Structure 1
Amino acid sequence: MLVAALWVTGMLAFQLPGPSWLRWAVIAAWLGFALTTVVAVARARAGRWPGVVYVLALVATGVWWLLLSPRQDRVWADDVAQRLKVVEVDGSHVVLDNVRNFNWRADKDYDARWERREYDLDQLRSADLILSYWMGPMIAHTLISFGFEDGRQLVFSLEIRKERGESFSALGGFFRKFEVTLVASEETDIVRVRSNVRGEDLYLYRLDMTHEQLKGLFLSYLGEARRLDAEPAFYNTLTSNCTTIVYDLAKQIAPGLPLDYRLLASGYFAEYAYKLGVLTPGVEFATLKARGHITERARAAGNDPEFSRLIRRGVPGVEQGSTQ
Structure 2
Amino acid sequence: MRAVFFSAAVVATLLLLASGLWAVLALHYQLQLSPVPRTIVCALWAVFTTVAVMLLWRRQAPRALLSYGLAFALLLAWWIRIVPSDSRDWADDVARQLHPQLRGSIATLENVRNFDWHSDTNYDARWETRSYDLDRLASVDLALSYWMGPAIAHTLVSFGFDDGRGGTDYLAFSLEIRKERHEEFSAIAGFFKRFELELVAADERDVLRVRTNVRGEDVYLYRLAMTPQARRALFLAYLDTAAQLSEHPRFYDTLTANCTTLVFEMAQHILGSLPLDWRLLASGYLPEYLQNIGGLAADGDLAVLRAAGRITARAEASDADPQFSQAIRRGVPGMKGATQ
What residue number does 1:35 align with? 50
Q: Unaligned 5+ residue runs, structure 2?
A: 1-15
Following superposition of structure 1 onto structure 2, how do residues 249-260 of structure 1 map, counting pairs within 5 Å?
249-260=266-277
Within the candidate set 138, 150, 158, 1:137 is matched to 150
- AA aligned to 2:107 is V
Q: Distance in 1 between matches of 2:141 and 2:50?
A: 49
Following superposition of structure 1 onto structure 2, how do residues 58-97 of structure 1 map, counting pairs within 5 Å?
58-86=72-100, 88-97=101-110
Q: Which moved more, 1:314-323 or 1:159-168?
A: 314-323
How many angstroms does 1:25 deviate by? 1.1
- AA aligned to 1:58 is F
What residue number does 2:9 align with? none
1:169 paired with 2:186, answer yes
Within the candidate set 154, 160, 179, 1:147 is matched to 160
Q: Distance in 2 between matches of 1:300 and 1:236?
A: 35
How many angstroms does 1:311 deviate by? 0.9
What residue number does 2:65 align with? 51
Q: Are 1:292 and 1:314, in contact at CA under 8 Å, matched by a contact in 2?
A: yes
Q: Distance in 2 between matches of 1:196 and 1:110?
A: 13
- AA aligned to 2:220 is Y
> Secondary structure of 2:80's partner?
helix
Q: Are 1:37 and 1:46, in contact at CA under 8 Å, matched by a contact in 2?
A: no
Higher relative contact order (CA 8 A, sep 6+): 1
Change (3 A) 1:265 1:39: farther
Identity %: 51
Q: Are 2:113 and 2:128, in contact at CA under 8 Å, matched by a contact in 1?
A: yes
1:182 paired with 2:199, answer yes
Within the candidate set 26, 34, 40, 1:19 is matched to 34
Q: Are 1:11 and 1:61, in contact at CA under 8 Å, matched by a contact in 2?
A: no
> Secondary structure of 1:152's partner?
strand
How many angstroms does 1:39 deviate by? 4.2
How many angstroms does 1:45 deviate by? 3.1
Q: Which moved more, 1:75-84 or 1:16-25?
A: 16-25
Within the candidate set 317, 320, 328, 1:300 is matched to 317
1:274 paired with 2:274, answer no
- AA aligned to 1:70 is P
Change (3 A) 1:130 1:39: farther
Q: Which moved more, 1:69-78 or 1:49-58?
A: 49-58
What residue number does 1:127 align with? 140
Q: Are 1:144 and 1:156, in contact at CA under 8 Å, matched by a contact in 2?
A: yes
How many angstroms does 1:57 deviate by? 2.2
> Secondary structure of 1:229's partner?
helix
How many angstroms does 1:18 deviate by? 1.0
How many angstroms does 1:62 deviate by? 1.4
> Secondary structure of 2:53's partner?
helix
Q: Which moved more, 1:31-40 or 1:190-199?
A: 31-40
Find the structure with the greater CA-based Rg. 2
How many angstroms does 1:282 deviate by? 2.3
Question: Aligned-pair RMSD on alpha carbons?
Answer: 1.3
Q: Distance in 1 between matches of 2:148 and 2:76?
A: 31
1:109 paired with 2:122, answer yes
Q: Distance in 1 between matches of 2:199 and 2:137?
A: 20
Change (3 A) 1:39 1:296: farther
Q: Distance in 2 between matches of 1:68 and 1:36?
A: 28
Q: Distance in 1 between matches of 2:67 and 2:32?
A: 22
How many angstroms does 1:91 deviate by? 2.0
Q: What is the CA deviation profile of residues 206-254 of structure 1, one whole-angstrom value per residue up to 9, with x for unaligned ones?
A: 1011111111110110110111111111111111110011101101211
Q: What is the CA deviation profile of residues 172-231 of structure 1, one whole-angstrom value per residue up to 9, with x for unaligned ones?
A: 111111110100000000000011001111111110111111111101101101111111
Q: Are 2:113 and 2:200, in contact at CA under 8 Å, matched by a contact in 1?
A: yes
Q: Distance in 2 between matches of 1:205 and 1:85?
A: 27
How many angstroms does 1:63 deviate by? 1.4
Q: Distance in 2 between matches of 1:172 and 1:57?
A: 23
Change (3 A) 1:321 1:292: closer
Q: Distance in 1 between matches of 2:231 and 2:145?
A: 22
> Secondary structure of 1:45's partner?
coil
Q: Are 2:331 and 2:338, in contact at CA under 8 Å, matched by a contact in 1?
A: no
Within the candidate set 239, 253, 256, 1:222 is matched to 239
- AA aligned to 2:91 is A
